[in-house]
């Protein structure tokens, strides 16, 4: 299904053994700035980067302190699915709240990408992820329905146990740029498939902005985070497929039998 | 809620507190001040576009130091040309009647029609097809009827079309404007100078408009179909650009091309596919690559979005009922319609499962058909009792089966059900692409 597996390259042939790609580019081009630009804009067709994320909200009922307009304290957020730091991919997150809130457009520029508020209403929040310029120029929007009240109406509201609604999804970058790839190749928050032979990157320099931790492993709300594991779902799907395939085989057999019978009957039927 | 109050019935205990909060919040976050809750609910929970009467105004009482009387007084209207004096009730405050013109006089507006002198006419406005008398008549009528050309055209003594009259009027005005202007730059902003009246264009426009209005329903349908086809062709061209060469194995000649809108398939008509269930899968494989290609064009996308697209494309050959049956089957198997943990592997498995279920359903239908034919052959009658429900389900799309079924004995076999499409209708391709559109859109809401 894929075409020729070589990534988009310049005319120059790549050496089979590892010389880093950067070095060979620099020898070809005279100006180092040009080389930089070329590196930044070079994209890799067959390397698909995916960033698993979880987004949702946690809402606590305020109990005695609740009044008509502020009955719950809630936090809406986007986090890495394994609670790893996503700031190498996400530059900022914009949460668009209901218009009755002051300044309903809330911008969060550093991890943890979350927003806490007090209110009484459930509404749809538009979460827009803005990426770094070498990751993706266009922002990506997610939509989350804020949930404050438990699904089961008969459950009594409790101050201690919050309502948690989280959704798992993966951000897919089908053609990542080289600098992006270089920055995240070994980062725990990002899934990078096996790189084609001969393609290596130097380890990225540590970003000073990352001195403050951006992961959510020790987040105060982390005890309520859902652990999304694909294993259960895979098992379920495999079992279902097995059932369906058996059924299909059975039907095919039945059809063949009937066709055989009809073949026998055909010469004897008259028009 | 209030009805129950009136009737004295008890309210449902559980639903009241969360309901009160969850319902109004869908409409508005805040209760308004100033309007009572019931009135607000009457308006559908939305604030009126414009405040009708400020509620504080209603509560205001006239200041007690003023003495108000109402008197029957005469008045004149400055908009009138005569000196007619009429009477009306006037609100008199402290013995002082209100001053100022009649309040409705300001609404007597009229259009200013340009007037030309005879010299100007002789200099700028002569025209071979218009006499001065006619032009004067035209301008009189324009003044009299406020440039309402429909009336003017009706009243005009000699029979001229409205476009001709308009043309003459606007060109005269334009020439006068240009002639009277001290410099061309002054009037270049005037709409008449910038965009002159174009009689022929107007005629064309009106003709086209009346054609559109008078289109019969049938014509409208045909137009819509043609447009839909054109759109699909354009889309297929776009898809074909992003797709690599894929030479796919055959489809039968009689197999109606229900998915011509996707890839261009190279059909080797020699190859005959025995199991009819196979062609849908070959087409499906071809289409997957175009969906994948279009996904790769995006700079970024969500895994769930990609899955939706793939599912939609896989279900594109299926009718709405079949899609619902697939979903029902998934639920029976205990699988979520949208995976809870949509990783790459999970999505791939989910997609494969859906495709297998589609195959399963197709096979089930095929089996039912075979059994039905079998029974009709055995009984040797022209028709037999056919199970009613499956036929209706098949009606959606599976014309593939009809040619096969028909090739066996008894083409009149059992198709007495008026809803069934007869043999002659098998190749009704024009309608099927049109039908596809609404179904495709519905398939996307999983």
B422-436 pLDDT, tens digit per residue, is: 444 444 444 444 444
3-class SS letters over chain B = CHHHHHHCCCCCCCCHHHHHHHHHHHHCCCCCCCCCHHHHHHCCCCCCCCCCCCHHHHHCCCCCCCCEEEEEEEEECCCCCCCCEEEEEEEEECCECCCCCCCCHHHCCCCCCCCCCHHHHHHHHCECCECHHHHHHHHHHHHHCCCCHHHHHHHCCCCCCHHHHHHHHHHHHHHHHHHHCCCHHHHCCCHHHHCCCCHHHHHHHHHHHHHHHCCCHHHHHHHHHHHHHHHHHHHHHHHHHHCCCCCCCCCCCCCCCCCCCCCCCCCCCCCCCCCCCHHHHHHHHHHHHHHHHHHHHCCCEEHHHHHHHHHHHHHHHCCHHHHHHHHHHHHHCCCCCCCCCCCHHHHHHHHHHHHHHHHHHHHHHHHHHHHHHHHHHHHCCCCCCCCHHHHHHHCCCCCCHHHHHHHCCCCCCCCCCCCCCCHHHCCCCCHHHHHHHHHHHHHCCC
The set of residues, in sequence order, having a beta carbon less than 8 Å from that of A31 and lying 6+ positions away, is none
CA distance B92 to chain A (A): 47
Which residue has tokens 């002051």?
A: A102
For residue B340, list chain A residues with Cβ-Cβ distance below 8 A.
Answer: 168, 228, 233
> Which pTM value belongs to this model?
0.48
Q: What confidence tens digit (pLDDT) does each residue in A201-256 have?
A: 666 666 666 667 888 888 888 888 888 888 888 999 999 999 999 999 999 998 88
Question: What's the rounded Cα separation, in Å, for the pair B288 and B297?
Answer: 14
How many Cβ pairs closer than 8 A exist between chain A and B?
A: 154
| Chain A contact present for B407, CB below 8 A | no
Q: For position B26, what pLDDT does the model report?
A: 45
Judge whether residue B119 has pLDDT over 60: yes
| Chain A contact present for B22, CB below 8 A | yes
Q: For position A248, what pLDDT does the model report?
A: 92
Q: For position B432, what pLDDT does the model report?
A: 44
Asked if the Cβ–Cβ distance from A121 to B302 is below 8 Å, we say: no
Of the candidates A136, A135, A174, which has an alpha carbon nearest to the alpha carbon of residue A46?
A174
- Check if the beta carbon of residue A241 is closer than 8 Å to that of residue B352: yes
Asked if the Cβ–Cβ distance from A170 to B288 is below 8 Å, we say: no
Residue A175 CB neighbours (<10 A): 20
Best of A153, A243, A255 to substitute, by most chain B Cβ atoms within 10 angstroms, is: A255
| Chain A contact present for B123, CB below 8 A | no
Nearest CB to B343: which of A52, A99, A254? A52
What ipTM was assigned to the predicted interfaces of this complex? 0.77
Best of B244, B299, B401, B412 to substitute, by most chain A Cβ atoms within 10 angstroms, is: B299
Asked if the Cβ–Cβ distance from B346 to A240 is below 8 Å, we say: no
Judge whether residue B400 has pLDDT over 70: no
Of the candidates B125, B155, B126, which has an alpha carbon nearest to the alpha carbon of residue B138?
B155
Instruction: Tell me which of A7-16, A41-50, A95-104, A213-222 is least confident.
Output: A7-16
Question: Long-range contact list for B45-50, CB < 8 A, 24+ apart?
Answer: none
Instruction: Compare A168 and B189 and report the one with higher pLDDT.
Output: A168
Instruction: Compare B37 and B418 and report the one with higher pLDDT.
Output: B37
Question: What's the rounded Cα separation, in Å, for the pair B185 and B167?
Answer: 23
Residue A21 CB neighbours (<10 A): 22
Q: What confidence tens digit (pLDDT) does each residue in B250-278 have?
A: 433 444 444 444 444 433 333 343 433 44
Per-position DSSP letters for chain A, written without gaps between them: -----PPP--SSPPPSS---HHHHHHHH-S-HHHHHHHHHH-B-SS--EEEEEEEEEEEEE-GGG--SS--EEEEEEEEETTS---TTTEEEEEEE--TTSSS-EEEE-SSSEEEEEEES---EEEEEEEE-TTT-SS-EEEEEE---S-SSTTSPP-SSSPEEEEEEEEEEESS-BHHHHHHHTT-TTSB--PPPTT---PPPPPPGGGGS----TT-TTGGG-----HHHHHHHHHHHHHHHHHHHHHHHHHHHHHHHHHHHHGGG---
Nearest CB to B409: which of A135, A241, A271? A271
The pair of structure tokens assigned to B311 is 């599912």
Judge whether residue B216 has pLDDT over 90: no
- Check if the beta carbon of residue A43 is closer than 8 Å to that of residue A177: yes
Asked if the Cβ–Cβ distance from B29 to A174 is below 8 Å, we say: no
High-pLDDT (> 90) share of chain B, %? 11
The pair of structure tokens assigned to A62 is 């305020």
Q: For position A209, what pLDDT does the model report?
A: 66
Q: What confidence tens digit (pLDDT) does each residue in B276-330 have?
A: 344 444 554 556 778 888 888 888 899 999 999 999 888 888 888 889 999 999 9
- Check if the beta carbon of residue A124 is closer than 8 Å to that of residue A145: yes
Question: What's the rounded Cα separation, in Å, for the pair A160 and B92?
Answer: 70
């Amino acid at each position: 299904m894929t075409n020729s597996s070589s990534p988009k390259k310049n005319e120059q042939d790549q050496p089979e053994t590892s010389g880093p790609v950067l070095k060979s580019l620099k020898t070809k081009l005279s100006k180092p700035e040009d080389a930089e630009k070329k590196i930044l804009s070079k994209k890799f067709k067959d390397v698909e980067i995916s960033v698993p994320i979880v987004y949702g909200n946690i809402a606590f009922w305020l109990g005695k302190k609740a009044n008509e307009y502020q009955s719950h304290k809630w936090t809406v957020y986007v986090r890495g699915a394994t609670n790893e730091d996503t700031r190498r991919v996400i530059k900022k997150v914009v949460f668009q709240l209901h218009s009755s809130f002051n300044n309903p457009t809330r911008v969060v520029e550093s991890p943890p990408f979350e927003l806490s508020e007090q209110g009484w209403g459930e509404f749809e929040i538009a979460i827009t992820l803005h990426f770094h310029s070498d990751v993706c120029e266009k922002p990506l929007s997610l939509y989350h329905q804020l949930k404050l009240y438990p699904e089961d109406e008969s459950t009594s509201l409790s101050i201690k146990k919050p309502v948690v609604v989280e959704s798992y999804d993966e951000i897919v970058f089908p053609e990542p740029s080289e600098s992006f790839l270089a920055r995240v190749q070994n980062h725990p928050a990002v899934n990078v498939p096996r790189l084609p032979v001969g393609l290596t990157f130097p380890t990225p320099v540590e970003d000073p902005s990352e001195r403050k931790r951006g992961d959510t492993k020790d987040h105060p709300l982390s005890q309520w985070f859902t652990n999304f594991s694909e294993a259960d779902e895979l098992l379920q799907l495999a079992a279902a497929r097995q059932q369906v395939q058996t059924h299909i085989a059975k039907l095919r057999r039945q059809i063949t039998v009937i066709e055989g019978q009809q073949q026998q009957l055909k010469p004897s039927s008259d028009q | 809620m209030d009805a129950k109050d009136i009737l004295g019935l008890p309210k449902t205990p559980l639903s009241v507190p969360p309901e009160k909060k969850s319902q109004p919040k869908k409409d508005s976050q805040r209760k308004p001040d100033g309007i009572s809750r019931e009135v607000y609910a009457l308006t559908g929970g939305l604030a009126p576009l414009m405040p009708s009467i400020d509620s504080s105004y209603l509560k205001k009482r006239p200041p007690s130091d003023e003495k108000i009387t109402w008197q029957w007084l005469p008045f004149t209207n400055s908009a009138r040309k005569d000196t007619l004096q009429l009477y009306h009730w006037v609100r008199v405050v402290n013995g002082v009647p209100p001053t100022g013109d009649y309040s409705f006089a300001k609404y007597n507006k009229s259009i200013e029609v340009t007037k030309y002198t005879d010299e100007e006419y002789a200099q700028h406005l002569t025209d071979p097809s218009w006499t001065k008398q006619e032009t004067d008549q035209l301008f009189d009528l324009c003044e009299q009827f406020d440039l309402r050309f429909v009336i003017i055209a009706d009243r005009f003594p000699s029979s001229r079309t409205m476009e001709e009259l308009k043309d003459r009027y606007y060109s005269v005005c334009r020439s006068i404007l240009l002639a009277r202007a001290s410099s061309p730059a002054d009037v270049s902003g005037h709409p008449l100078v910038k965009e002159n009246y174009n009689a022929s264009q107007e005629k064309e426009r009106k003709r086209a408009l009346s054609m559109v209005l008078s289109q019969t329903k049938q014509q409208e349908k045909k137009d819509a179909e043609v447009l839909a086809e054109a759109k699909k062709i354009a889309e297929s061209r776009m898809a074909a650009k992003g797709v690599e060469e894929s030479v796919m194995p055959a489809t039968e000649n009689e197999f109606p091309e229900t998915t011509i809108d996707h890839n261009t398939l190279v059909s080797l008509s020699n190859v005959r596919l025995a199991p009819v269930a196979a062609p849908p899968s070959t087409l499906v494989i071809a289409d997957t690559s175009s969906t994948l290609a279009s996904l790769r064009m995006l700079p970024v996308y969500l895994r769930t979005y990609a899955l939706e697209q793939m599912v939609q494309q896989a279900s594109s050959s299926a009718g709405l009922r079949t899609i619902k049956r697939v979903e029902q089957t998934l639920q029976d198997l205990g699988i979520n319609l949208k995976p809870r943990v949509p990783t790459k592997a999970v999505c791939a498995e989910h997609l494969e499962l859906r495709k297998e279920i589609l195959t399963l359903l197709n096979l089930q239908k095929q089996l039912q058909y075979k059994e039905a034919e079998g029974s009709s052959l055995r009984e040797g009658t022209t028709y037999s009792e056919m199970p009613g429900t499956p036929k209706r389900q098949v009606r959606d799309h599976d014309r593939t089966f009809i040619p096969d079924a028909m090739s066996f004995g008894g083409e009149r076999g059992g198709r007495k059900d008026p809803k069934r499409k007869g043999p002659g209708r098998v190749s009704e391709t024009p309608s099927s692409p049109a039908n596809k559109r609404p179904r495709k859109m519905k398939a996307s809401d999983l």
